[in-house]
Amino acid sequence: MKRARLLGALILLAAASCSRSGSVFRGAPVVVICVDTLRADRLPAYGYRKVETPALDALARDSIVFDNALSHVPLTLPSHVSLFTGLLPFQHGVRDNLGFRLSTAHPTLAAILRKDGYTTGAAVSAVVLDHGSGVSQGFDYWEDGIEARDVAQAMGQLQRPGEETARILETWIDGRAEGQKILAFLHLYEPHTPYDPPEPFRARYRAAPYDGEVAASDAIVGRFVDYLKRKKLYDEALVVFLSDHGEGLGDHGEDEHGVLLYREELHVPLFVKLPKARRAGERVPRPVQIADVLPTVLAAVGAEPPAGLPGRTLLESDRGKSAEPRRVYSETLYPRFHFGWSDLASLSDDRYQYIHAPRAELYDWRADPAEKNDLAAGLPPAFRSMRAELVGIDRPLQSPGASDPETVKKLASLGYIGAAAPTADAKDLPDPKDRLGTIEQLKNANRLVGEFRDGDAIVQLRELARENPSMLDVWESLARVLRRNGRTREALEALERADRLAPGTPQVILGLADLHREAGNFDRARQLATAAGEAGAPGYREELASIALSAGDLVSARREAEAVLAGNVSARAPRLVLARVALAGGDVAGALAQVDGAIRLDRQMGRMPGIGFRAMRGDLLARLGREKEAEAEFVGEVASYPENLDAWARLALLYASQGRPGEPGGILSRMTSRVPTPKSFAMAVHVCGILRDAACERDWARRKGERFPAGG
Ligand SMILES: [Zn+2]
């Protein structure tokens, strides 16, 4: 007893002297910057020479740099949840970007710091990190107002420029009182596909657009760091810079990320800049993991971490406990949930990586960093020991979809949830590395969608669906492109196939709701949108608002739109709904005030007006006889959003009403060459019909027939 008390006193003494030595920075501002999809070996800080990243180089010079930091999962949402909970994916339960929601039972970094008196704010650049996923738990402010450009866009593609995101976060920081302790999280999505860097990076990295996006991210981080310096926050702050996962870039046959677990998908940059740049220049070669970030930040500011975390603080020296060898766990369930193939898991230590798969692999990544030489065949001791350890980990396979029993019951009553996903516990599934050709085919089809070559895309997607009926992503892509072509019934069939593969996935149900809205099945649409909302789908109230608007129920449309705005003042979609409600009531000036308010807000936030806003403004101005301004709005809309066919049509009709011969035809030609889809040609025919120009109507119908002989 006496002995134990003495030991306890000694430990306390050790802890106290540790904090006296200056490793605890109570109240320090905490800034976490994540550049999504950034491979460590594509940064000069890790030896890459083909890109210039002056801002990150400077940040690295002020930081402790971790040479071998690994992600637990090459997927944005699960990886960020590990960052914020300090838990491994099977511990926090968010196993994929879609169909999972973080349980409120897990304390997050933001929640713990908030208890410690911090105010917590974040701005993110991808819809995958929408607050509906629960990733925002503990944040006072989480700005994720990213809206769809085009119904044919995949969710993973919905993003906004990092520059906008950074400005939003700066505005939030500006609003905090001086001396207030802050946690700020900035998420940039530039290096994620599509690789489309802005100038000057586009020209500078023409042959390597991924590098161009890395350079563009560097510039944004640089401006954000300059802002922190101007605010006198940088010097005092604990800054953590990292990525959530890497990118395949074709090294093992996968171009992007999510399917495979090789090092290029898991090895991420990690810099920790301490206040006053203490320990700047240290390099840490031992393997560390994203789950270590939470205990590191908490230890640095002297806050208590939750018990039982898998990670540990990275600020201890390389001696003692932190020098003990350990293995970092990673996984991906993406191939199972999306393609019906086997999931993968992996363990990495300071020399080997073991990948658990139908055909397991082992690499000596120190000697063979590109992981080209699989050592598994020789069954070396590392293979046996890592395999045994991995098989021994109790990691249940949670399925996507609704998990809360009430929601499941409600969805079941709607006929949209049956048994668990068919692949949930299937065994003997194909090895993803043997099926990469199929992913290539899906990518080709999606590229055709991006180029508006919808007819070819539909043929290819149908073919893929026939050969791989359990590929969720094929059915989703098919539904999106069919819908864009006005083939609503077929789109519904395709999306219902997707729903059967991942029953109750909120985003899929919301997609079904919107298709039913388009098909005029308003009751069904409403039921599904409500169910999707209860299952955690972002944007379900916006959907309810637009269902009400489509159904002519202006009172409900207004109510839903106002409810969305009450929760998120910077939301755009509800403002468009409110403008349409005003217009439907004959209040053109009121409608214009709504649209102007939204565009003003966009300007304040430094973002481009959302799809449809300038077209709507143009329409209202035309009604008020302000034709010159109306024209400028339509022209602006189609320049930003060529897929908005309605805006092209309104521009053509405006020119026709002004008696400008030849110009309406020119607009229709530009529309159909920018967006060469059957729907676009059908719009041209429709415009001619409104103009009562029979020759024009015949001409466009003929062109449509020639281009899409099967009828599109
Ligand atoms: Zn990501």
pLDDT at site 110: 98
Site of tokens 């015949």: 698
Give domain status of residue 269, yes or no. yes
Give domain status of residue 338, yes or no. no
Closest to 136 (Cα-Cα) out of 183, 188, 70, 174: 183
Domain count, the chain: 3
At residue 146 the predicted structure's pLDDT band, cuts being 50, 70 and 90, is confident
pLDDT(190) > 90? yes
Residue-wise pLDDT tens digits, 567-626: 777 778 889 999 999 999 899 999 999 999 988 887 876 667 888 999 999 999 999 999
Residue pair 618/647 in contact by the 8 Å Cβ criterion: yes
Buried b (16+ CB within 10 A) or exposed e, 615-628: bbbbbbbbeeeeee
Give domain status of residue 675, yes or no. no
| Mean pLDDT of the region 259-286 | 97
pLDDT(246) > 80? yes
Q: Ligand 1 centroid to 75 CA: how many Å?
A: 5
Q: Does the CA dihedral 232-233-237-241 come out positive or negative?
A: negative
14 versus 515: the higher-pLDDT residue is 515
Q: Ligand 1 centroid to 333 CA: how many Å?
A: 15
348 shares a domain with 452? no
489 shares a domain with 367? no
Q: Ligand 1 centroid to 208 CA: how many Å?
A: 20
Give domain status of residue 323, yes or no. no
Ligand 1 (single-atom ion) residues, CB below 5 Å = 36, 76, 244
pLDDT(17) > 60? no
224 shares a domain with 361? no
pLDDT at site 1: 40
pLDDT(50) > 70? yes
Closest to 246 (Cα-Cα) out of 231, 264, 234: 264
At residue 3 the predicted structure's pLDDT band, cuts being 50, 70 and 90, is very low
| Mean pLDDT of the region 174-181 | 93
Q: Ligand 1 centroid to 105 CA: how many Å?
A: 24
Residue-wise pLDDT tens digits, 295-304: 999 999 999 9
63 shares a domain with 153? yes
Residue pair 644/149 in contact by the 8 Å Cβ criterion: no
Q: Ligand 1 centroid to 74 CA: how many Å?
A: 7
Boundary-marking domain end, from 641, 670, 698: 641
pLDDT at site 404: 56
Give domain status of residue 458, yes or no. yes
At residue 320 the predicted structure's pLDDT band, cuts being 50, 70 and 90, is low
Q: What is the C-alpha to C-alpha distance for residues 263 and 361, in angstroms, rounded to an integer? A: 12
pLDDT(213) > 50? yes
- CATH number, domain of 637, equals 1.25.40.10
Boundary-marking domain end, from 641, 657, 680: 641
350 shares a domain with 311? no
Pairing of strands 64-70, 238-242: unpaired
Please give the model's pTM, rounded to 2 decimal places: 0.80
Q: Ligand 1 centroid to 692 CA: how many Å?
A: 51
Q: Ligand 1 centroid to 77 CA: how many Å?
A: 7
68 shares a domain with 217? yes
Residue-wise pLDDT tens digits, 391-432: 999 998 877 765 555 555 555 555 544 334 555 566 788 999
Q: Ligand 1 centroid to 502 CA: how many Å?
A: 21
Q: Ligand 1 centroid to 572 CA: how many Å?
A: 25
Residue-wise pLDDT tens digits, 218-240: 999 999 999 999 999 999 999 99
pLDDT at site 449: 85
Closest to 141 (Cα-Cα) out of 92, 182, 180, 177: 182
pLDDT at site 397: 83
| Mean pLDDT of the region 683-698 | 94
Closest to 387 (Cα-Cα) out of 362, 369, 370, 351: 362
Q: What is the C-alpha to C-alpha distance for residues 398 and 395, in angstroms, rounded to an integer? A: 9
Give domain status of residue 660, yes or no. no
Q: Ligand 1 centroid to 415 CA: how many Å?
A: 33
Q: Ligand 1 centroid to 232 CA: how many Å?
A: 30
Give domain status of residue 291, yes or no. yes
pLDDT(101) > 80? yes
Q: Ligand 1 centroid to 213 CA: how many Å?
A: 14
Provide the domain limits for residue 430.
405-641
410 shares a domain with 384? no
For every residue of 339-391, which 3-state class applies, written as one string? HCCCCEEEEECCCEEEEECCCCEEEECCCCCCCCCCCHHHCCHHHHHHHHHHH
Q: What is the C-alpha to C-alpha distance for residues 49 and 42, in angstroms, rounded to an integer? A: 8
Q: What is the C-alpha to C-alpha distance for residues 653 and 664, in angstroms, rounded to an integer? A: 7
pLDDT(506) > 80? no
pLDDT at site 323: 62
pLDDT at site 295: 97
| Mean pLDDT of the region 25-47 | 97
Q: Ligand 1 centroid to 192 CA: how many Å?
A: 7
For every residue of 240-300, which 3-state class applies, written as one string? EEECCCCCCCCCCCCCCCCCCCCHHHHEECEEEECHHHCCCCCEEEEEEEHHHHHHHHHHH
Buried b (16+ CB within 10 A) or exposed e, 424-456: beeeebeebbebbebbebbeebbebbeebbbbe
458 versus 324: the higher-pLDDT residue is 458
Q: What is the C-alpha to C-alpha distance for residues 406 and 409, in angstroms, rounded to an integer? A: 5
387 shares a domain with 420? no
pLDDT at site 405: 55
Q: What is the C-alpha to C-alpha distance for residues 432 and 434, in angstroms, rounded to an integer? A: 5
At residue 198 the predicted structure's pLDDT band, cuts being 50, 70 and 90, is very high
Boundary-marking domain end, from 590, 623, 641: 641
640 versus 538: the higher-pLDDT residue is 640
**Percent of the chain with pLDDT strictly greater than 70:** 89
pLDDT at site 533: 82
pLDDT at site 415: 52
Among 123-127, 489-493, 533-537, which is the least confidently predicted range? 533-537
45 shares a domain with 98? yes
At residue 12 the predicted structure's pLDDT band, cuts being 50, 70 and 90, is very low
Q: What is the C-alpha to C-alpha distance for residues 424 and 470, in angstroms, rounded to an integer? A: 12
- CATH number, domain of 269, equals 3.40.720.10
Q: 3-class SS at 152?
A: coil
Residue-wise pLDDT tens digits, 330-376: 999 999 888 889 999 999 999 999 999 999 999 999 999 999 999 99
410 shares a domain with 385? no
233 shares a domain with 168? yes
Give domain status of residue 80, yes or no. yes
Pairing of strands 64-70, 270-273: antiparallel
Pairing of strands 283-289, 64-70: parallel
Pairing of strands 30-35, 182-188: parallel
Residue pair 306/321 in contact by the 8 Å Cβ criterion: no
Q: Ligand 1 centroid to 114 CA: how many Å?
A: 26
**Percent of the chain with pLDDT strictly greater than 90:** 67
pLDDT at site 534: 79
Q: How confident is the prediction for the chain on average, in pLDDT?
A: 88
Q: How many residues does the chain have?
A: 712
Closest to 543 (Cα-Cα) out of 512, 504, 497: 512
500 shares a domain with 600? yes
